[in-house]
Structure 1
Amino acid sequence: MDQVTEFNRLFEQSRLVLASMRGTAATSGADEAAEPLRAAGTAAEGQVEVVLVGQRVESVRLDPRVLRAGAELLGEYVAQAVNAALDDLRHQAGQAGAEPAALDPAALGETLGQLQDQSVRSMSAMSQALTDVVQRIQEGGR
């Protein structure tokens, strides 16, 4: 097997590994989507707690002592706890989304394919040029 063919084979093997990674990434992304993020927020020194799952309120817990604060203040505490839970949810979503965005397997695969094509053409041209030089040297030596 000549060097150009071996080089092309290695590139093709790399592209297949990358394609399998893309399939794995798509599958793991679907698994993550099946389990929504869970976030919590508190207010009034922990007397009001709100738990979110995905973008829905799962529970609101009120310490009985906070009920003495009055309806208006209680409403503010609940709003603060919900906003804190939403901030937590956004923070988690940002962390979960940051890593995959850093590596785009499709773009990497396309770039790798272009590099493979260009490299094989260049190596073929260099190989042919070296073959021509060797042939000229051998013909000149006779």
Structure 2
Amino acid sequence: MLGEGGFERQLVDVRALLRETISRASEEGRDEPGEYVAEAADGRIRVTVGTDGRVGAVEIDPRVLREGAEYLADEFRTAVNAALDGRGEQNRTDEPVPDLDALNSAVERLQDQSIRQMREMTATIGEVMRKLHKS
């Protein structure tokens, strides 16, 4: 059984983990798992869409330029749209996204309430023990 200090330490650790998770989520962009790369023109055009939804990199093999401007434009558009579609698929989920700030607040309230209750119980047990020793 945990004493007052052990229980409080666990709650402090949980809150620290939540703060770290919240911080990491905001740095990475919440619900955005990473970049997505798509290819077109038989792999001669590669487009990377970043976590912010913007095109991050475009790689074009110089040999594809021989195909002409219209072909290049069509294939480039195909690669960009495929990258955007793939990124959208990565971000889809049927699972609800937890509100980490609300969860952190709830744990904080739980910690405060638990510490108060633990102190009250400790005081009551101490009082009972004193009475038993007097008898």
The TM-score by the shorter chain falls in which range?
0.5 to 0.7
User: What is the aligned partner in structure 1 of residue 84 from structure 2?
Assistant: 86
Residues 33-48 of structure 1: matches in 2 within 5 Å?
37-48=34-45
Same amino acid, percent of matched pairs:
18
Task: Tell me the TM-score normalized by structure 1.
Answer: 0.52
The code of the aligned residue for 1:43 comes to: A
On the 8 A contact 2:15/2:107 being kept in 1, the answer is yes
The code of the aligned residue for 1:11 comes to: F
User: What is the aligned partner in structure 1 of residue 60 from structure 2?
Assistant: 61
Shift of 1:59: 1.9
> Hey, what's the Cα distance between the residues in 2 that align with 1:70 and 1:17?
59
Higher alpha-carbon deviation: 15-24 or 78-87: 15-24
User: What is the aligned partner in structure 2 of residue 11 from structure 1?
Assistant: 7
Classify the secondary structure of the residue corresponding to 2:38: strand
> Hey, what's the Cα distance between the residues in 2 that align with 1:29 and 1:42?
29
* 1:22 paired to 2:14: no
> Hey, what's the Cα distance between the residues in 2 that align with 1:114 and 1:90?
41
Shift of 1:15: 1.8
Higher alpha-carbon deviation: 40-49 or 104-113: 104-113
* More helix by percentage: 1
Q: 1:49 aligns with which of 38, 46, 49?
A: 46
Task: Tell me the TM-score normalized by structure 2.
Answer: 0.54
How many residues were matched structurally? 122
Higher alpha-carbon deviation: 40-49 or 75-84: 40-49
